[in-house]
Structure 1
Amino acid sequence: MNTLGKKQTILITGGRSLLGRRLTEYLRGRGHRILWLTRDVSGGMDMCDETFFWDVDQNIVAEHPLKEADIIIHLAGASLFTERWSQKRKREILRSRLRSSRVLLNALSKIEHHVHTIIYGSSVSIYDHAKVEVAHEEDAMGTSFLAQVFNALEHEAVV
């Protein structure tokens, strides 16, 4: 949100997640218009203002919400909490986040839009907590699996 108090149109991927639902509720409560990109457009209208279809595996993204959005909050990706982190699951977590980011950024690059901010979901787990009591954004990333995932996403997002 900007400091001028202007109501924004905010597009959220991963809106059905716990964080996505809470964020939607919070932002709508402050008067912002919330759009979701989702694979299942049949539900969610009670939570957000509009839902739009996307399918990362088919490289399909509805253009309309990209053109309408001022801000994108990208939370989509395989859940971190529903399964044990086998090597296969770790690959899926990384692949789903990188793939969805690429599809989103590629779609934006092909259209006229006025998105001024893209926010990626992350985790405090990216920092090496064993070495510091309080983590700061400027601190070096740790070496954990989540640190590797979000470091890869950060590099992917630099456009």
Structure 2
Amino acid sequence: MNSDTIYKEGNHDDFITYLFSNSPKEKGEVKLELPLNEPGKNLYLHEFEQLLMIFVDGLKYFYGENGKVDINSLKEEDIKKVNEYFISMNYEVILEVFPTLHDYRFKHPNYFKDQKYINEETMLDDFYYEIYGHNNCAFRISFTNLSLN
């Protein structure tokens, strides 16, 4: 433990407010604790799920209306802004955009969707979430841990 570390107690909503209500902190300054409460669950699946929730809630915090975000209206700088907060936690948001079905690159397996394929070698970088926008535009979201690079 670092004696300079300031510990914050609270729930998920408290953390979202703490993280996004000020300017982004320096790289790695925010230490994220993600205790695994489900025995036998893949640690990286749990980490991915938590990061995805933080990402979506960050988008809602800055760009949401009535608790929803229109992914089609987001701009590259909007994602970069939220990514700055992730960098403060030593993570990076990876967003791939496929404007048409012709541009789409299939990636298999989708461990998040098909969890039966998860094994002990499945890492955080292997997980992704896809969402589809207007005109078959696809968005693929994943995360990388910057402290491992």
TM range (shorter): 0.3 to 0.5
Higher relative contact order (CA 8 A, sep 6+): 2
TM-score (norm 1): 0.32
TM-score (norm 2): 0.33
